[in-house]
Amino acid sequence: MFRLADSYHDMIKIFIVRGIVFMEEQGVPFWEEVDKHEFSAVHVLGEIDGEPVAAGRIRYRGDTAKLERLAIRPHYRGQGFGHALVDYMMDVIRKNGIHKFLIHAQSHLTDFYGAHGFQAHGNPFEEAGIRHFRMIYSEI
């Protein structure tokens, strides 16, 4: 179901998922959704029978990896794909020798990421007009 993007076609699918979730559903403007890190990040695509249903991206920052832009299309939520996406991304990161993880979690998702071992640090902040918490999980 999940794999690392390795083609232009994969990237189109990823941007479609993100456009549906972040731009259409959450009202994030294009100029905030697509940023300067797109070409340096590792992108993850989730598909069912060729249909794009999930996306995420990973940015390596020294001894830490940041999980970003995790999105599940609305029709596919509540079926465990979100947890599976987080698990897949963390496994990819571990295979690269990194065991410290960071995410900027939308405030309504802190319990979701907490189930994966992430803990909120610091005060809430706004990102793209949405309240977030910095969450960290470390295996070291």
Which domains are delineated in the chain?
Answer: 2-138 (3.40.630.30)
Does pLDDT of 140 surpass 90?
Answer: no
- Mean pLDDT for 106-134 is 97
Question: Nearest Cα to 92, choosing from 59, 127, 116, 69?
Answer: 59
Q: Report the percent of the chain where pLDDT is more than 70.
A: 100
Estimate to the nearest angstrom the gap between the alpha carbon of 39 and the chain centroid.
15
Mean pLDDT of the chain: 97
Q: Most distant CA pair in the chain: distance in Å?
A: 41
- Mean pLDDT for 23-31 is 96
